[in-house]
Amino acid sequence: MSKLKVEARDFNLYYGDFQALKNINFQAEPNTITAFIGPSGCGKSTFLRSFNRMNDLIVGVRTTGETTIDGVNVYDKSINVDELRKQVGMVFQKPNPFPKSIFENVAYGLRVNGVKDKTFIEEKVVSSLKQAALWEEVKDKLKKSALAISGGQQQRLCIARALAISPSIILMDEPASALDPISTAKIEDLVYELKKDYTIIIVTHNMQQAGRVSDRTAFFYMGDLVECDDTTTIFTNPKNIQTQNYITGRFG
């Protein structure tokens, strides 16, 4: 069970002179799913990537304020970014398996982190594939290329890869947007199942998906976090007119 609380306090992020995030205050409780919704370019993926400092990879990024995990500011100079990214798993929009076997895809993070115990690696690969609801489909194909399985299976493989290094938090950036409806439903079921053990934050363009899987929903617009509340409240009785207009399809 994840015990880690995720927070942001007066968090700002700039790409050069452009302010992409404006004074964000946010928190996600352990073992919940929070969905980020809003039109394209509103800052939701940028904010998601601030929790594992993926934005560091972009030239000219600077931040003020804090994003914290369990009370520790992830932008503190003492933070080891590699250790942070072990704690905060990431699943991207398009499945991105490595051109290796299914087994080696899941084992990759363990090997990179210096794990050499073969029995431990095998057990972890199996348990991660089971957690990602993929084991039954691939247990006889572990030596086959990960590129030979379907897109939906590849995305669950990428989730298994993220789980193998035992994170506490999982970030998902539109994990089902490239998938067909059946694969999307499997990913949604899986996300819902995983919240027993993890704190999950998911960016989605699909408002029905946010309504189905999340406990809380945050609406972003033009770099502002306009409103964050229980998902039912956001979709039935939002406090802000901008949120209402987006939910009802008046813009976005």
pLDDT (0 to 100) of residue 6: 94
Residue 2 binned pLDDT confidence (cut-offs 50, 70, 90): low
Side-chain half-sphere CA neighbours of 26 within 13 A:
33
Average pLDDT, the chain: 94
Instruction: Say what the pTM is.
Output: 0.93
pLDDT (0 to 100) of residue 175: 92
pLDDT (0 to 100) of residue 170: 96
Instruction: Give me the mean pLDDT over the 113-122 stretch.
Output: 94
pLDDT digits (tens, 9 = 90+) for 100-111: 999 999 999 999
Q: How much of the chain, in percent, has pLDDT values that exceed 70? A: 98
Judge whether residue 1 has pLDDT over 80.
Answer: no
Residue 139 binned pLDDT confidence (cut-offs 50, 70, 90): very high
Judge whether residue 252 has pLDDT over 90.
Answer: no
